[in-house]
Amino acid sequence: MLPNPSLERTATGLALGPLPGVVHHPSSGPSAIPASARSAQTLGNASPTMPPASSHISADTRFQEAAASLGYSFEGELKVGGNYVPLVRDGATLYISGQVPRVGSTVVVTGRVGSEISLAQAQVAAKVCAMRALALLQRELGSLDSVRQILRVTVYTQSAAEFTQQSEVADGASELLHSVLGEAGKHTRTSVGVYQLPKNASVELDLVASAKA
């Protein structure tokens, strides 16, 4: 991967680079996880540099780049916590179970956002949740290029009493979906602050997507 010559930081941390022809989203230049966020979370050996996006790069390649940037692997079993399933397909519609920022068997960002966990850390958590959802779509469809559209995303943030930046937390997930999927990553979104999440996760995300015919 070539280092991204236009690397810069954004308010919401990691962005995986602009996609040509995406016109409906506020622009988000290529960036990296702020070093402060990474060190605070011990996020592993995430590369601070991102490759330049290109219209010739598949969504699957962008997914791998995003995983490398986060410093996590999303291969292997994607554990779910109970007797339900991670994905159900209904015709062209794909429902994904709520994802917490679990990597392997560890929930990597836990605690209340706004007191124990910073906004930047929560944004990384939202990205990890979104990556898990993408990994599930990829396994079901064979390729992320077969995603037609992300229809709906709900982001739950375990919030301190006075924390009101739930939208900014969710921006982490929205940017990642957009960065990996381009136009197909455009989605509607609901962001709420909740009192507790399973496993003390800081963020939980679910989504509904549609597949190409």
Nearer to a copy of itself, 40 or 160 (CB): 160
List, in sequence order, every residue forming a beta bridge with 96; answer none if it has no partner: 87, 207
Among 98, 121, 127, 132, binds a copy of itself (CB under 8 A): 98
**Site map 123..162 versus a copy of itself, x via CB under 8 A:** --------------------------xxxxxx-xxxxxxx
In this structure, the number of other CB atoms found within 10 A of the CB of residue 154 comes to: 16
Considering only residues 30 to 69 of the shown chain, the ones binding a copy of itself according to CB under 8 A are none
Nearer to a copy of itself, 71 or 119 (CB): 119
What is the total count of residues that contact a copy of itself (CB under 8 A)? Answer: 61
Is residue 90 a contact point for a copy of itself (CB under 8 A)? yes
Nearer to a copy of itself, 28 or 138 (CB): 28
Q: Where are the alpha helices (DSSP H) in 119-165?
A: 119-141
Contact by Cβ (8 Å): 174, 123: no
CA dihedral 19, 209, 196, 68 (to 10 degrees): -40
Shortest CB 25 distance to a copy of itself, Å: 5
Strands 93-99 and 203-211: antiparallel
DSSP 83-94: SS-SEEEETTEE
Stretch that binds a copy of itself, among 39-47, 52-60, 64-72, 95-103 (CB under 8 A): 95-103
CA dihedral 209, 79, 155, 68 (to 10 degrees): -80
Residues binding a copy of itself (CB under 8 A):
24-26, 28, 81-88, 90, 93, 95-98, 149-154, 156-168, 170-171, 174-175, 178, 186-200, 204, 206, 208, 210
